[in-house]
Amino acid sequence: MTQDDKTRIQVDIYNQTYTIVGNEREAHVRLVCGLVDQKMRELKNNNESLDTSRLAVLTAVNVMNDYLKLQEDYAKLQRMVEEKEDK
């Protein structure tokens, strides 16, 4: 999702309004942004001194960490499928 594409959807994340522009369905965009908002609020609860900018960066770090772990799991499952096919 970038800011220079087709559909324009306004969302609130951590009390700021963003216009998300892209090709995704509105429900999907709202789901994604809702999860980011939720993660930011969870992190804020654990680190009350964090300002919005640092909070958002650490949220991105957390989600990237989850993404890489899922990527590893996906690769493992894929190898398992390939090994089964070879038998």
Q: Which residues would be at the binding site for a copy of itself (CB under 8 A)? A: 1-4, 13-14, 16, 18, 20, 24, 28, 31-33, 35-36, 39-40, 43, 46-47, 51-54, 56-68, 70-71, 73-74, 77-78, 80-81, 84
- In whole angstroms, how close is the CB of 7 to a copy of itself at the nearest point? 14
- In whole angstroms, how close is the CB of 6 to a copy of itself at the nearest point? 15
DSSP for 44-74, written as a single string = HHH-TT--HHHHHHHHHHHHHHHHHHHHHHH
Report the distance separating Cα 30 and Cα 10, nearest Å: 9
> With respect to a copy of itself, which residue has the nearer C-beta, 26 or 73?
73
Report the distance separating Cα 28 and Cα 24, nearest Å: 7
